[in-house]
Structure 1
Amino acid sequence: MTLAQLGWNDACAAAFAPHAAAGAVPARVTLELKGFFEVTGAEGARLGECTGKFIHDARTAADYPAIGDWVAIIPQSGDDTRAGIHAVLPRRTCFSRKAAGDQDHEQVVAANIDIVFLVSALDGNYNLHRLERYLAAAWASGAEPVVLLNKVDLNEDTAGILAELAAVCRDVPIHVISAQTRRGLKALQPYLQPGRTVALLGSSGVGKSTLINRLVGEYLQDTQEVRGPDNKGRHTTTQRELIVAPSGVIVIDTPGMRELSPWDAAAGIDAAFGDVAAVAARCKFRDCAHTVEPGCAVRAALADGSLEPVRWQTYLRMQRTTAHEIRRVNPDASRRQKTDFKKLTKALRQRVREKSGDE
């Protein structure tokens, strides 16, 4: 396999130049293992391990290799199956989330991806708010998000779901498909170009493994049925893996994530709701709460119809979710939020008293 087939390009070569001078060779992380990585380069796949210097210099968990990363390796002397990982090349795009639990650190799910297929199922597993969180993470990653509504064969009426998604997924392609019956899969071909990296993300049971088998054109991933009447998925995929399909497209499969809190959701929300942010920026007061303040551009836009109420409520909901996650893992942020709330409440009461006096 050549580096070009793995997605190597001129930008990668330029970033790698300093490491080449040190005697390293490039490889891409194609499989994550416990404490090790499968790294694949022009000479094939090796078992890669971070060197002691790499571990010493790494400041956070996000500095370590992740699936899709390009790394600088030096093959182990006398063993063509192992290599030391000396550096991770700068990531062109990066899909990250907060690590599960109450720890406040970044977990890189996949790196250097071009297209993110956000897979949701049109059965009892469908959840709009969860899809919103996936979208925020995708927008923040720098990759192009594409929403796939799978298992349309289990849903006779998708019109309502598409209508509510319209306010969230503005300018984001949405495809209604069935990986099982192959319905709608032809529409995905434009995304599946040789050398392009496509990552599939979604919760357990949405059909990612079946979809990968269909897109790649051969049986690669095991599949399982969802569990009973609650439509909960089983973890068919248990590790992150990069697959180069016979067609040349590069596909990254990831385990289903029951919990997703985007690492930089604020950046994703700003990118997705630039129209809303532009309206809010026109408010008379910088700290406008968009409730009773004079000169509020948001209330004016809602009144004249230039800002859709559904889109505004979606924006607020995503902002609240992001703020909640920050407070959950950051006590200082929680205290600041309480102080700001007290100030806002005091200001609103003062405003009400002033209006009463004017009357």
Structure 2
Amino acid sequence: MTDLSELGWTLGRAAELPAGSVPARVSRVDRGRLSVLTAEGESRVHPAAALYDESGLSGPAVGDWVAVRGELAVAVLTRTSAFVRTGAGRTSAAQVIAANLDTVLVVDSLSADARLRRVERYLAVAWSSGATPVVVLTKADLCDDVAAAAEQVREDAFGVDVLPVSSVTGAGLDAVRDLLPPGRTGAMVGPSGVGKSSLVNALAGGTIAEIGGIRASDGRGRHTTTARELHLLPGGGLLVDTPGMRELALYDDGEGVDTAYADVALLAADCRFRDCQHRTEPGCAVASAIDGGRLDPARYSAWRKLQAEAHRQLLRVDARARAAEKARMRSFHRAIREQPNRLR
């Protein structure tokens, strides 16, 4: 028997359970079946077809609590958080990477120069999840100046803890374990080759994830983790290991972007004009900060890029937003036509 609180269960969820069902936490999703953890142990169940819709958001994901009746998952209980991206390829459908998270561990490696723009993108999605993001910098044993490398990331990761660790020497692992006390759930996200599998093995105290290397041809990591999976750690915490992501497209309306780039967003709020484009307008606080060396122009460009990406995604998935955008464009063109000095 397993105490469900060890799996993150809270009594508030009990009211959602359909009659005749029991709660279970999804630990893996593959081949149209769910591996679930219940008070009785682990089992495999089929998800009901009614759980899915076109958005991609409603179907069960790793970390979800589901109501199980016999060998069928009949309902997905309300999520407290979810790490969501737009599905890979030309689509507007969502892909829920992991649900009901307390912490999102954004993992990158200290074995090479800091990839700040990549970390920022992951943080933007992590902030949107509703969980607390933390940056974990692996392979500290391969870095000549860990303090300087971590500080470089820390300067861009506003409001986020940055933890350098080594799965080889064990340095920094206790700080990560402290984030996952009994009943708390974290998920590791990041590209291939940054040491996620080594980290989960180090935290688990044994081999539960296959470890790959770096391809000599291009220096990129191999995808050793092939499916998202929820692991119960020795200290009682839970950790979702995820495959490396070649694409991490935003799904939300950009709220997480402004949180990840809080410094830029605050500067933009101080511009003289509310619709400032941060180019040549007078009183632009963003341009002033760039000219004064207080804002990295590359960070500003990344903020604008992610804002534009979030706006495009919103237009794809939100019919009301599309209608508002069409109305805005009609108003703009009408204003152009009605200018008294317009050439005819």
Aligned to 1:26: 23
Give the alignment of 1:177-192 within 5 angstroms: 177-192=165-180
- The offset of 1:59, in angstroms, is 4.3
The question of 1:38 aligning with 2:60 is answered: no
Aligned to 2:305: 320
Question: Contact between 1:97 and 1:108, CA under 8 Å: does it hold in 2?
Answer: yes
Aligned to 1:308: 294
Structure 1 residue corresponding to 2:239, chosen from 218, 226, 251: 251
Question: Contact between 2:289 and 2:295, CA under 8 Å: does it hold in 1?
Answer: no
Q: TM-score, normalised by structure 2?
A: 0.84
Over 3 Å counting, the alpha-carbon distance change for 1:302 and 1:221 in structure 2 is closer
Q: How many angstroms apart in 2 are the aligned matches of 1:93 and 1:30?
A: 16
Give the alignment of 1:8-157 within 5 angstroms: 8-13=9-14, 17-20=15-18, 22-55=19-52, 58-75=53-70, 83-124=71-112, 127-157=115-145
Q: Secondary structure at the match of 2:134?
A: strand
Q: Secondary structure at the match of 2:57?
A: helix
Q: How many angstroms apart in 2 are the aligned matches of 1:206 and 1:302?
A: 32
* Structure 2 unmatched ranges of 5 or more: 337-344
Q: How many angstroms apart in 1 are the aligned matches of 2:142 and 2:285?
A: 43
Q: How many angstroms apart in 1 are the aligned matches of 2:162 and 2:156?
A: 11
Q: Secondary structure at the match of 1:259?
A: coil
Over 3 Å counting, the alpha-carbon distance change for 1:322 and 1:283 in structure 2 is closer
- The offset of 1:111, in angstroms, is 0.5
- The offset of 1:160, in angstroms, is 5.5
- The offset of 1:299, in angstroms, is 4.2
Question: Contact between 2:100 and 2:185, CA under 8 Å: does it hold in 1?
Answer: yes
Flag the structure with higher helix content: 1
Q: How many angstroms apart in 2 are the aligned matches of 1:275 and 1:124?
A: 26
Structure 1 residue corresponding to 2:183, chosen from 172, 195, 219: 195
Over 3 Å counting, the alpha-carbon distance change for 1:177 and 1:49 in structure 2 is same
- The offset of 1:18, in angstroms, is 4.0
Q: Secondary structure at the match of 2:257?
A: helix
The question of 1:3 aligning with 2:4 is answered: yes
Over 3 Å counting, the alpha-carbon distance change for 1:114 and 1:315 in structure 2 is farther
Over 3 Å counting, the alpha-carbon distance change for 1:299 and 1:227 in structure 2 is closer
Letter in 2 for 1:285: F
Q: Secondary structure at the match of 2:3?
A: coil
Amino-acid identity (%): 41
Give the alignment of 1:169-248 within 5 angstroms: 169-228=157-216, 230-248=218-236
Question: Contact between 2:24 and 2:36, CA under 8 Å: does it hold in 1?
Answer: yes
Q: Would you say how many aligned residue pairs link Structure 1 and Structure 2?
A: 326
Aligned to 1:353: none
Aligned to 1:79: none
Letter in 2 for 1:247: G
